[in-house]
Amino acid sequence: MNILFMDWGCFGKDGTIKAMEELGHTVYKFAHEDYKLRQSASFLDAFYEFVEKYHIDFCFSYNYFPVLAIGCHEKNLKYISFLYDSPYVMLYSFTLMYPTNYVFLFDQAEYLKLRQGGLTNIYYMVLPADTEQIEKLLKQPFDRERVTSDISFMGQLYNEEHNFLDRVTAAGDEYLNGYLRGIMESQKKISGYNFIEEMLTPDILKRMQDAYPFVPDQTSVESPTYTYAKYFIDRKITSEERIHILTEIGKRFPQQCKLFTWNQNTTIEGVKNMGIAEYFHEMPLVFRHSKINLNISLRSIYTGIPLRCMDIMANRGFLLSNYQSDLAEAFIPGEEYVYYEDTEDLMHKIDYYLTHEKERLEITENGYQKVVKLHNYKDCFTEIFRICEIQP
């Protein structure tokens, strides 16, 4: 069959296209500057012309795009999307209800929430990973000193000035600010369950709206509770958690940790800020050459396995993560990866695995082999196409 692949700066493009072609399909990449818009006549005109020209049978994209869903619905084409971002507000577009959609989520909690809401075209799937990319990179010249470390963390700190929650608290509502601080500190103590949305009572939502109004898009059904919880509060909790953990690592293991992040101006004593590691060419090398790779999940990912975890294991890196229930279901804790329960437990496990190399390497290899056997692109898309009833 002929597949339209929505071509944007997404991860996994090459591995996905290769897998689709190995499964007997022909892939045509389609790009348009309006792909993130909810409505665009220009996008649809180009899409319809492309579909006719290449006799497209169905469409695929990483993440979900309402304008593409509209085009597929109009042409009665199946639209398969696979999300790896969370939160992802466009998932709450009215277009999600189109029967032509097949939407795969990596977070089982989000999947169950939408399923229980009556959407039967939503599915849960662990993200695939490319285990071949790292082997190609290792054969090319690279800066070994830059990518080698005892401990590494790769990810955003979300510590930009005037972030969304800071705009709320800047309004000076002391009761609201105290309440939000209380639920945030409580949430930090709990892994495996997120209760922030439940704690946003009508009164608290009104106070937040008064402090920093949120106006939902008319083509979407996302609630203020969803937006304030995921984009405002969960993001702020994540920022504070990541900075706190890295600060503690800097104290306990000075100069042994490298941080790869967008904000190159962030300074954490005892931690080396290396700036950005390019995803396709440098990130895999960091994962391979770090003795311990940390995952500190974005709090808006309730149970899912972040793409970072899959990439770490796929590149033969040792994964030390916070607890995520989907991760504990798909991989064996203590045998294929390791999770920590709190900051003190994390410090203990960093110390242990830095000094127990044989055990660390065995766990690393076990995680890698699990990804190779069960979470490669070809097997993943074989299952997706089976669900969507698509044959070569």
- Per-residue pLDDT for 337 more than 90? yes
> Using 50, 70 and 90 to split pLDDT, how confident is the model at 221?
confident
165 part of a folded domain: yes
Phi, psi of 47 (to 5 degrees): -65, -50
Read off the pLDDT of residues 18-37 as tens digits, 9 standing for 90 and up: 999 999 999 999 999 999 99
Terminal alpha carbon distance of the chain: 5
Amino acid 341: pLDDT: 96
- Same domain, residue pair 98 and 147: no
Q: What is the CATH number of the domain that holds 149?
A: 3.40.50.2000
Higher pLDDT, 138 or 162: 138
Amino acid 215: pLDDT: 83
Amino acid 222: pLDDT: 85
Amino acid 392: pLDDT: 77
- Same domain, residue pair 144 and 115: no
Sheet of 257-260: strands edge to edge? 271-275, 257-260, 149-154, 290-295, 319-322, 338-340
Read off the pLDDT of residues 296-328 as tens digits, 9 standing for 90 and up: 999 999 999 999 999 999 999 999 999 999 999
Host domain of residue 88: 2-128+376-387
Omega prior to 66 cis, within 30 of 0: no
- Same domain, residue pair 283 and 317: yes
- Same domain, residue pair 364 and 231: yes
- Per-residue pLDDT for 219 more than 90? no
> Using 50, 70 and 90 to split pLDDT, how confident is the model at 107?
very high
User: Number of folded domains in the chain?
Assistant: 2
- Classify residue 252 by burial, with Cβ atoms within 10 Å: 0-12, 13-18, 19+: middle
- Per-residue pLDDT for 264 more than 90? no
- Same domain, residue pair 122 and 187: no
Dihedral of CA 361/192/304/161: which sign?
Answer: negative
- Across the range 110-133, mean pLDDT stands at 95
- Same domain, residue pair 338 and 228: yes
Amino acid 160: pLDDT: 78
Integer Rg of the chain from CA: 22
Amino acid 214: pLDDT: 86
- Same domain, residue pair 111 and 235: no
188 part of a folded domain: yes
- Same domain, residue pair 293 and 342: yes
107 part of a folded domain: yes
- Same domain, residue pair 218 and 142: yes
